[in-house]
Amino acid sequence: MARFRIIDIDNNGHYLKTDPPTEWEQVEVDQKTGKQGRHRYVVPMLLDPRDPGTHNYPKLNQIIVSTKKDPMYPRDIVILDPPTAGMEPLDSEAEAIMRKVLMGSIHPMSEAAFPTQVAQVPPVPDRLDEFMRQMQAQMAGLIGQNEALMRKVAELEEAQEMPPIGPPAPAEGVRL
């Protein structure tokens, strides 16, 4: 049996499969009949060191998990998932498991996890340079259009006669 203390307080906790499983129940009420429909789903348990409600050792402010049920530690939460980097091993068996998981594992998003071949994508710098050239060409065109519009506005302002300043003249037949 390996025991771990969850110490990762920088993230939003750990979602781990536990034994016994954690269930979430959805309750729906039929609008016509008023009968309840219940659905239960097995979900991972959230173990967050920042949340005192999840501490199984509240006096120590700790969450301790183990790989097997042990009568010597009845409060330990039995996990079915492998340990994560946010866990601290508490015994030699836990240290061995942690070394194996952290040193020898394959990251789930690495190429080795996806055996199918992926289309070859050009390196990022080439794509970035091409994108920058396209953006610069577009920007030069937009600047040219803006300058032409500004010249047209200036010409129209010069050609337009300025309206007289003051109150408007009354219309014919209107007394003030």
pLDDT on residue 108:
47
d(CA 6, CA 65): 8
pLDDT on residue 159:
78
Weakly modelled stretches of the chain, pLDDT under 50 = 106, 108-119
DSSP 102-153: HHHPPPTTSGGG--S-------HHHHHHHHHHHHHHHHHHHHHHHHHHHHHH
pLDDT on residue 112:
46
Q: What is the pTM of this model?
A: 0.53
